[in-house]
Structure formats: structure tokens, C-alpha cells
Amino acid sequence: MDWGNIFGNAIGEIISPTTAAYALAAIGLGIHFGYTGLLNFGQAAFLLIGAYAFAIPTLAGAPLIVAVLSAIICSIIFAFILGIPTLRLRADYLAIVTIASAEVVRYIVTTTGLTDVTGAANGLSGFKGTFAAINPIPEGRYGFGPFVYNEYDWWIRIVGWTLVVLASVLVFLLMRSPWGRVVKGIREDEDAVRSLGKNVYSYKMQALVIGGVMGSIAGIIFILPRAVQPANYTTGLTFFIWTIMLLGGAATIFGPIVGAMIFWVVLSLTQGILYGAIEAGILPFIDTTQAGQIRFILVGVALMLLVIFRPQGIFGNKKELSFSV
């Protein structure tokens, strides 16, 4: 077994753009669930919307800034469509409606009738030009140890992690302010907050929009190193983001970032070790595809154990962060 390679790949996941995208999506979900108490089970839809609303205008020839704005605006509109009917409803209804809406948008981009726009099941590719064009890094390979990448890969990582840091700063500023106090109050008991003269509905909507926009920007980072594939945006994606958020701690600043890093490092490690074991003939009865599936079984089991035995996550304070409902 090539341990060096296995660990090298795993360490590389720490700063990979995918990890950044998941971290950003989890930060957004943290605003929804961790701070405001909204049960959003449709975060994948925000990533999907970010991806398509960025890729489609770019492929139509729009400049980078227009494509990014399009992603942000579309996610705001989607947040309103999602929030208007559901934010007055009980929490579990919000869960079912958000998960259903996420599936609806996925069905829509996958339908063959929209092949010319969305590429249907095949998705979209060839939208990296505008982003690569503003890359200030000269061509070449840079880095040390396991972190050696070409100029495009470094550019995605720098932009992606800068956005993650900016989002974390934003969450920090929001949550130390009276605004954060109101949304945390809503998480605890929205009637009490209402009785104190706060427009609960409006605050929930604001939280939904901010977290959704973060999800949509995460969607852009997510597709920059790859193609847009509608099959990536199933509810499975939402649940992985949930796992990451709960892993780090739902209402913490660094929780989602560390959660995303641990999630991807562990996935990479288990994959490397299982593949190595299969090649070395230690696990004769499974093949590499099945090894990939074992990882997801472990994700499911880990999610269960986490929620049962450490609901506050790694960083969370036991008193503050157990579930309120």
C-alpha cells in the first residue's frame, strides 16, 4: 500500500476547491439551521441554482461579473419562492417543502425538453474561460509536498477559500449583533420574539436568503474544477452538507470549515486505504466500486452517531447547541 500517496491525497483535500464549496454551503446552512432554526433540506437546490445560473450566461457569452450576479439574483428569487409559502408553517413542513423544491429544480434542469439550455442529463461544460481569464498567476506548477497544482487550480483554491473566509467574517459580524440576537431568539421560540415586536417572518426570510446566496456561490466554486452534472445535486448532496455542518457544530463560526475538511479528508483516507487493501489482496470479496459505497455507508452511520451522541458537533457548546426541537 502506498501510504505516502494515500496521505498525500487526503491532505490535499484540506484545501481542495470542493472542500471550500462544501464549507461555504455548510456555513449558509448554519445560518439557516444553526442560528435561525430553519430546517432547510434543500440546500442542494441553492448549489444547483448557483451552478446553472453561472454556467448558462457564461456559455451565452456574458462576462464573469454578470454570471456571478445572475447566480446571486437567481438564488435570492428562489429563496423567496421557497420562503413565502413555508416560513409561516411548522418546522417539519418547511423540511418537506424544501426537499421537494430541491427535487423539482433538479427534475427541471434534467428534463430533455430543456436540453438546449441545461444540457439535460449530460449537464454543461466549457464555462471556465471567463474565470480563468482573470487569473493573475502566471502559467506553471507551484507548491510543495502534496500541494502542487497548476495556475488554474491555485486560482480556484485562492478564490474559493477567500470566499469561505469572507462568509465566516460575515457570519461573525451578523451573529454578534442585535440582528443575530433576534434570529437566535427565533430559533428558541418565535412567539416570544414576536411578542417583543420583531417581524419574525421578515427575519426568517433574511436568514434564508443569506444562507441561500452562500449556497449559490458555493455552487459556483463547486463547478469551477469540473462540469455541471445534474446528478450531483440530489438530496444526497444536501445531507452531506448537513453532516458537515453537524460535524463541526451548527452554530459555530469555524465548525462548517473544519467539518468540511474532516469530511473530505476522512472520505479520501478511507477510499485510499480500502483501494490499497483491495489491490494488496487483503479484501478479496469486494471490488473498488463497492469500496466507494462503503464510504457512504459510513457517512450515514457517522451522521446517526453524531446526532445521537454529540449533537453539538466538535466545536459546539453542549449547553448552547443541543437541539431545541
Partner 1 sequence: MIAGIRIGPGVRLTKMILAALSLCLGIVLGSGALSATASPAPTPTPTSDFTNTLTIGGVLRDGDNVVEGAEVTVEGASGFSEVATSDDTGRWSVIVPEKAEYTVTIDPETLPDGVELRDPDRDTATVSSSEWQTNSITRSFPLGADTRQTTGFFEQFLQRLAAGLNFGLLIALAAIGITLIFGTTGLNNFAHGEMVTFGAIIAWITAVLLGVNIFVAMLIALVLGGVFGYVQDWLLWKPLRRKGVKLVQAMIVSIGLAIALRYTYLFFIDGSTKTMNVGLSDAIVLGPVRITTGSIVSMVISIVALLAVGLFLTRTRVGKATRAVSDNPSLAAASGIDVDRIIRIVWVLAGALAALAGVMLGLYRQVSWDMGFQVLLLMFAAVTLGGLGSAYGALVGSIVVGLFVELSTLIIPADLKYAAALVVLIVVLLVRPQGILGRKERIG
Partner 2 sequence: MSNLDKTSVGEPALTVTHPLVKGEVGPGCAKVDPIVIADSVTRQFGGLKAVDVAHLEIPRGQITALIGPNGAGKTTMFNLLTGFDKPNTGTWEFDGKSLAGVPAFKVARAGMVRTFQLTKSLGRLSVLQNMLLGATGQRGEGLFSSLIKPLWRQQEEENTIRADELLARFKLDAKREDYAASLSGGQRKLLEMARALMSQPELIMLDEPMAGVNPALTQSLLGHIKNLKADGTSVLFVEHDMHMVMHISDWVIVMAEGRVVAEGPPETVMKDPAVIDAYLGAHHDTDLGDLMEDGPNPVLEAERRAREAHPEAASEDDGYAKPEERA
Place of cell 447566480: 71
Residues 6-35 that bind partner 1 (CB under 8 A): none
**Residue 325 interacts with partner 2 (CB under 8 A): yes or no:** yes
Residue 121 binds: one of partner 1, partner 2, none (C-beta under 5 to 8 A by kind): partner 1
Residue 192 binds: one of partner 1, partner 2, none (C-beta under 5 to 8 A by kind): partner 2
Whether the Cβ atoms of residue 38 and residue 201 lie closer than 8 Å to each other: no
Q: Quick one: which of 170, 307, 310, 314 contacts partner 1 (CB under 8 A)?
A: 307
**Residue 100 interacts with partner 2 (CB under 8 A): yes or no:** no
Specify the residue, 75 or 110, whose C-beta has the smaller distance to partner 1: 110
Beta-carbon count within 10 A of 51 CB = 31
Q: DSSP letter string over 225-293?
A: TS-B-GGGGSHHHHHHHHHHHHHH-TT-SSHHHHHHHHHHHHHHHHHHHHHHHHHTTS-TT--HHHHHH
**Residue 90 interacts with partner 2 (CB under 8 A): yes or no:** yes
**Residue 80 interacts with partner 1 (CB under 8 A): yes or no:** no
What residues contact residue 189 under an 8 Å CB cut-off, 6+ apart?
Answer: none
Whether the Cβ atoms of residue 118 and residue 124 lie closer than 8 Å to each other: yes
Q: Is the dihedral of CA 49, 255, 177, 165 positive or negative?
A: negative
**Residue 97 interacts with partner 1 (CB under 8 A): yes or no:** yes
Report the alpha-carbon distance of residue 212 to residue 218 in Å, rounded: 10
Helix (H) or strand (E) holding 135: none
Q: Quick one: which of 84, 85, 188, 236 contacts partner 2 (CB under 8 A)?
A: 188
**Residue 76 interacts with partner 1 (CB under 8 A): yes or no:** no
Distance in Å, CB of 46 to partner 1, minimum: 16
Please list the alpha-helical segments (H only) found in the chain.
3-12, 17-29, 43-59, 64-86, 91-110, 115-118, 129-133, 151-175, 178-188, 190-195, 200-223, 235-248, 255-279, 288-309, 318-321
Q: Quick one: which of 77, 170, 227, 273 contacts partner 1 (CB under 8 A)?
A: 227
Whether the Cβ atoms of residue 98 and residue 82 lie closer than 8 Å to each other: yes
Phi, psi dihedral angles at 124 (to 5 degrees) = -130, 150
**Residue 200 interacts with partner 2 (CB under 8 A): yes or no:** yes
Mask: binding to partner 2, 46-85, rule CB under 8 A, as x and -?
Answer: ----------------------------------------
Residues 139-178 that bind partner 2 (CB under 8 A): 170, 173-174, 177-178
Interface residue list for partner 1 (CB under 8 A)? 39, 85-86, 88-89, 91-93, 95-97, 99-101, 103-104, 107-108, 110-113, 115, 121-123, 226-227, 229, 231, 235-236, 239, 242-243, 246, 283, 285-287, 289-290, 292-294, 296-308, 311, 322-325
Interface residue list for partner 2 (CB under 8 A)? 88-93, 170, 173-174, 177-182, 184-185, 187-200, 206, 210, 319-321, 324-325
